[in-house]
Structure formats: C-alpha cells, structure tokens
Structure 1
C-alpha cells in the first residue's frame, strides 16, 4: 500500500477519510472531480490517493485550489468552482468515454409542486436513481395555496378548461368534507389501546383515514419528490422527459437540467443538445408509429377484468433453477448442468431446492440468483393508488396504460361501514363524466390529470421468482395499505397454483386482515422514542 509523508498526509486528509487504509471515502470534492479522479485512476498504475495528490492537487495546470478552495464558501463561489471543475473534468477525460464515468458523480435534486402524473413519469426510471415522494398516507392533502386554491396542476394547457377546474375542486372538496366524520368513525371502531401513546394512536388514525380517502385525489394533485441519482441516469431521464407528450414533464425537464447543470454540468449536458434531441425525436417517432400499428387491433369489449392474473410462466422453472444451482456449486458446465437437472428425480430436485432456499428466518433471507431463472408475467387491473405503491419496485419490467375512467373504481369497505360511500361514489361518477369530456376536448394524455386515484388502470409485471419473493413478502406486510396487500397475496396464490413447491419457500406472506395497519409499527416507534427520551444510564 502507498506510503505518504506527514506533509502529504496532511494534504490528503482533507479529501480522504483516511490516509493509511486500503478502503477510504472521498470528501470535500465536487462530484465531477470525483468522477474524473476515478476515470484517471482506472488507467493508472498509481493508487487513487497518489493520483489525487500528484496529478490533481500538485499539478498547477489543473487549478485544483481554485476548484476546491471555494467548495465551502458562498453559493455564488460554489457555482464558480463547479464551472472550473467542469473544465477540469473535460481536460482529464480527453480520450475517455463519458458514459460510464458519468455514473461516478451524482446529485440530490428536489422537485416540488409537481403533479402525481409527472412524478410517475420520473419514477419510471429503474436504474441509477433513488426517488422519495411525499406520501398520501401520512400527510393530508387539503392545504391551499396563498391564493386560497387547492394544490393541483394548472398548466396553461388545462387552465382554460372550466370543467377541469370544477372537477378537481369538487374532488378536493369531497376529500375535505369526509375527513372529520371518517376520523370520528375510525376512532369509534378502533378505540385507543392502553399500550400506545397519544402520538402513536393519532398517527395510526391519520394513516388509516388518509388511506381510505386517497382515492378522491386526482392525478393532478401536486406533490414533492426528492431524487438522488448518478449523472448518467439523470441524463437519460432528462432526455426521456423532453420527449414526453405532457407539457408539464417537458417544462420540468428544463428546470431540472438547469439546476443539475450547477452541480454536475458535464454529466447532463447531452440531454438536450443535438444528440439528445435526435434521441428524443427517435423515441417520439417510435411511439407515434407504434400507436398507429397497434391501433389496427381494436380491443374487444371486456365484461370484467380480474385484479390479478398470471399470464405467462416457465413450465420448466424448477429444472432451470436446479441447472443454475448445479452450475454454481457442482462444477459442471452449463449444458451438462441443464441435462442433469432435466434428468433429476423429484426427490433429488426437492432436496437441492430446499438446500438452496435454506432455513429462511425472515423475509430478508432471500434465495440467490438461481431463482432469477424462473419468470412470470402478471396482468394487474388495480386503482391508481395501488399502482403508485407497487410502482416503486425496480428489479422487474412493468408497463402501464394511460389513466382513464374506463375500468371502474374501488370503494373502501370502511367508507361503506361509515355511511360515507354515497358521497364518494357520487364524486367518482362526476369525475368520469368530466374525464370523458376532457378526453374529447383535450385528448387522452391531458385528460389523465382529472382521474381520481380510486379509478383502476391496467399494467403488467414481468419478473423473476427471486423478485416475486421480495415484492410479495414485502407488500403483504400488515402495515401496508390493504389494496396493495391484496394484490401481493393474489400474486402469491397464482404462483402457488402453478408452482406449489417453489411457492412453499415463500414463508412470509401475511394473509391476516388488519384493521389499523400502522398500529404495531407506531408502537415500535413509541418504544424507540422512549429510549431517546429516557436513555439508560451507563454502567458504573
């Protein structure tokens, strides 16, 4: 390992979390400098710290002090430093490919006052981005803006539609109107247990009420989302956003690129240059022509659509998984492993699968990658609220159709018990009439903004058995929303129907009917808070 003088260590300690261990972190460096350092490091015999010291810090041509010296100063100085860092990056990367290097720098980005429709577009990105969104479960969405208006999208492409404004206002009015009677009903049905604090109980009730009422919120509802991502992922996302049919998403792309250019400019500059625009045009043309060709196959009217339906699965799933296990642990080439797996007795196959799945102690004990050799395709018809929750899963392929009011809506059972379903359903009927009007007047893309979250849409999941374990066991947990818990359990049932032996290893599917879903989770939070408020005294 490299050895440094005390003077060199003093310099490096400002930028490295240690100077004498083989594993260390980089700190106090602009993202583009980190990316440039790793790219140079990949083509050097020197250690990363040696490259940083000799080729960056001590190289006058790099102007390192001017770049990094302002990093803790004012925002204006920080922008100057970032601009210098971009020039630095470009000098270092002459002769390097940009794409992989752009994954070595990242940025945090906040997008506020954007519609739920736009956030779903952003969150379609699967790799390189980590989004987090304001929850409809923990926050009431009845707040108004400074002009006394409900917070929903009012872009100029929709602001001239009185019907759009009327229906969104009506949905929010109903959301607000049902809050207090529903809170009273929930508290009467589920009195406060003795073993939970007032804080925990109120949080549990609020989550329950929000869950029951979220179906009234239109897709136009404004929310906030935060993202962390690497430069390559942001560039790809921005290029996709510029190619969107939704003006809101296009405008948002411009705003995002403007801000990202202040943090990681070199990594996102191609999103809307001539190369980015060519890619945008390609995607738009493909989308247009695909719609023309697909439109030739008019859909047959559907009398009813199941909530969850298993469309495709591997009939030889067990053999494929066993072949992968034999390849990894048996020393066989893959062709031989496949032949052995195909000829294996039922008893031997069960023994091998059981050994591989192992004694799972909790849902986080997931079988290994051999389970990725079995694939399933599920068609789902569920409400937009369900979709928003399940949309978070990344290690699968999912596509959805546009939001509409064509597939009916879901009414929560406890709204019926509370005697509030009538007003809820009346709001849904009005929303459908408004949607049909907007679809004719504004087109199907813009009409999506008026669709309440209770209305169903169709989408599919194409995923491996390994991801089935993760999704189903996680989304059937008792603290989850009852709507997506139901989807997860139905997926488990479908899997067990075709592959009972493989499904038997899925030991943590929760099928209980839960009243207050957040109750036990809030009790645990109470216990954690109590430890902070009353820490144990250290031993004498």
Structure 2
C-alpha cells in the first residue's frame, strides 16, 4: 500500500538533498531528512550540483520570495519568467490613488509633476466611472450591498487603471525552484533598468546571506510561547538557499546578444510600424525567418509582418551571417535564447500595458516583448470613449505624451501609463491558444484582454475553421457586469 505524506518546515536545500538521495539510498524520506542538516546539504550540493553538473537537483528546492515596494515597470520584468508562479497586487481590485511611486536616482525636477498628472487623471477617471456605472447598472435585488459596491468599484478600476503610471509601487510574491531563480536573477542583473538590477541583487542576498522570515518562530513569539536556544538554532538554520544560487552573475550572453541585435536593427529594421490594439495570426512561416524575426522583434518597433517583409528582401547568406553572429557569442553553459524558440502559431499582439500584464502570466507559450516607447501611443478603448469624461482623458494623456520628450530616456518608461500600447509576440500551440481564448474571453475578465482573446479567436477561425469550432469562446456581447 502506498505511503504518502507531506513535508513542512524543511529548508529548500535540505528538501532538495533529501529528494536527491532517493537515487542514491534506499532510506525513506523521513529517515533521510532526520539525519540531514543545512551543512550536509551544502556539502552535497557543492559536489553534485556544481562539480558534477547535476542541475536537476536545483529543481527540487522551491524558494518562496516576497518582493515589495517595486514599480509596476520592474514587476513586469520579474514576472516574465517561463516557469514563474506568483501573485501581484491587482490594479483591478485595489485603489492605487494614494500609492507611492518609484523615483530613479537623480530624477529630473519635473519627474514628480509628470507622475502626479497621471494620478490626477486616474482619480478623476475612477470617480467619473464609478458614478456612471452605478447609474447604468443599479444593484440587483438579490445582491448584497457590500458585494455590489465592490463589484462596481472593480469595474471602475478597470477603466481608471489606464491612467496609472508605471512608476506606481506594487508588491508580489513568487515561488520558483532554485534553478529558475538562478536564471531569473542572472536575467534581471542584465536589465537596462537600474531598479531591476538592484532588485536582482536584493533577491540574491535574500536567499544566500540573509535569514528568512520564520513564520513558526513569529507565531510562537506572538503567542508568548517560550523557545529555548537549542530549538531556536534548529528553527533558524540560516539563509534559505545559500548554495544553489550563490554563483549568480549578470547574464553576459544576454548583454552581448542585445548589443549585436541592436546593431542589426539599426542597419536593417529601423522605423516604427503603425500601432493600434490588434491581433494578427501568422503560421507556416519560414523557420529561419521566424528565428531572426524573434531576435529582431524585441529590439525594434516594427510589427512582425513588417520584419518578415524586410527579411524577404535579404539573401539566405545575409540571414545566415546575422544568425551566425548571434550564436557565436553563446557560451558553453548559455541556453538558447527564448526569442529563438518556435511554436506553430504566432500571434502579433498590440495591446495596452494593463492587459499585457494579465497576458504576461501565461506560461505555456513563448513571449517576445518589445520595449516600451511613447511612439506607439496609448489606447482609448470604447468603454472609455463612451464616457462623458472621455475627451478630458484623451486630452490629458495627449498633453502628457507631448511632455515626455522633455524627460531623459531612462525616465520615460516610468512615466508611461497602463494605457500605453506595446507589442508582444505570442508563440503557442493550438491547445494553449484555445486555453488562453477560453479563459481570457470570459465575462468576468477585463474588457481589454477579452477583446484581444476574441480577436485571437477570429484569426484562428479564419485560418483553421474546423478546429476553431471546438474552442469555447465567450463573445464580447455576452457580458454580465456583476460577474467577477
């Protein structure tokens, strides 16, 4: 009969060691863990993880982290990890009107003015929207007053968040295995944003050199239960993952590859494609062209179609040369770039940043994200356009965008609102496309990503009509304002 039990209060590296021992010992997990210590785990991991290259052992050490008081802009980079699991403060349910914001070192004198101008639009838009929605959707008789108020506020935040600046501070919690955490820290250390590089160093320190927050100890002290010194030492073995993530350094391959691709973009792929919220499906694209287009996409402001059109003008030898330059700088232990992963369906999506943050949490797809640039403009969705206050919103954002040219380039991303448009290339198989469409088209979702999901379905239906019949899409017209 199977013997199955859960584990608790086991440090991640000791847990990884205990599970790895299954391949080297017949002892039970309980017996293995009882004889282990953090010091034994560290010695084992130094041998098998680093010396022998058994990287899969790090997959067994799951590390929870709280990352707080960071900008929305930085949070998007942190979350953009294929095997990431976590949660972030929601702009759909929480009021950010009095939120503090990130201010870069040596920020220009006008930086606070630019941020506050967006917060003013955010507050005004929320007030206008909440009043209008209460008038449009009176409380159903069978709905409790508190639930009704929360639902209307959430729908109003769906509109107001378009004006929220990306400098707004947020918090998130994540759980990753140690191998993913190591890759994540290395990637973040290579970020062009100083804030993100600082966060990466903080994440490394939090798991390698700083004692973790011990919930068991905190609860015992809160209950005034005495803890003797020996018990305290057992409960606090030291940093949570001092071995598996200690060699994290900036990802040099990412830095070198970025510089190479930027030079290619400057020579062959300059300019800006027209931007508006849209979805375009591409399939049956030449494999080499798709690899190159993936590399070029995130360093340019061109649509995927425009990149493919320019690639068609180049000879096979020229394209081989481009790929060769990028791949020759790949080190012995560097993985293939995410941009060069391929799936049969490629959706080129232009979407507001607020909706992008929701789509960014999908893991079973490959994402290639373009940088944030004011040249792509901002969205005025139909749901805002129909408000009496719409002209004020549009005029306020137009003035704000015009003022961005007066700020240094490294400050502009923080001064963009969630209404800012950005492009993302989503590569996925049919099953993930169906899952995304079914989930994100639901009536309870935000109207922006609902619209994207419906556009994706329309593209899929045109390309694969028989297969699309199996996708359970919720049309935009099927909407219940009280469904959350």
Whether the TM-score (by the shorter chain) exceeds 0.5 is yes
> Would you say how many aligned residue pairs link Structure 1 and Structure 2?
399
Contact 1:33 1:89 in 2 (8 A): no
Contact 1:33 1:85 in 2 (8 A): yes
1:421 — aligned with what?
390
Contact 2:125 2:159 in 1 (8 A): no
* Pairwise CA RMSD: 2.4
SS where residue 520 of structure 1 aligns? coil
1:395 — aligned with what?
364
Contact 1:431 1:452 in 2 (8 A): no
SS where residue 93 of structure 2 aligns? coil
Rounded to whole Å, the distance in 1 between the matches of 2:343 and 2:469 is 15
1:88-487 to structure 2, matched below 5 A, reads 89-90=45-46, 96-127=52-83, 129-144=84-99, 151-157=100-106, 159=107, 161-261=108-208, 262-272=239-249, 277=250, 280-300=251-271, 302-303=273-274, 307-313=278-284, 375-438=344-407, 442-443=408-409, 445-487=410-452
Contact 2:282 2:347 in 1 (8 A): yes
Rounded to whole Å, the distance in 2 between the matches of 1:284 and 1:451 is 25
Distance of aligned partners of 1:207 and 1:165 in 2 relative to their CA distance in 1, 3 Å threshold: same
Contact 1:105 1:231 in 2 (8 A): yes
Listed as ranges, the gaps of 5+ residues in structure 2 are 209-238, 287-341
User: Is it true that 1:520 corresponds to 2:483 in the alignment?
Assistant: yes
Rounded to whole Å, the distance in 1 between the matches of 2:263 and 2:420 is 26
Distance of aligned partners of 1:446 and 1:289 in 2 relative to their CA distance in 1, 3 Å threshold: farther
Rounded to whole Å, the distance in 2 between the matches of 1:256 and 1:125 is 15
SS where residue 77 of structure 2 aligns? helix
User: Is it true that 1:30 corresponds to 2:11 in the alignment?
Assistant: yes
Listed as ranges, the gaps of 5+ residues in structure 1 are 1-19, 59-63, 68-81, 145-150, 316-372, 522-540
Rounded to whole Å, the distance in 1 between the matches of 2:204 and 2:272 is 43
SS where residue 364 of structure 2 aligns? coil
SS where residue 295 of structure 1 aligns? helix
1:1-40 to structure 2, matched below 5 A, reads 21-40=2-21
Superposed displacement of residue 215, structure 1 = 0.7
Contact 1:32 1:105 in 2 (8 A): yes
2:453 — aligned with what?
488
Contact 1:39 1:93 in 2 (8 A): no
Rounded to whole Å, the distance in 2 between the matches of 1:291 and 1:95 is 36
Q: Bigger radius of gyration, 1 or 2?
A: 1
When normalised by structure 2's length, the TM-score is 0.77
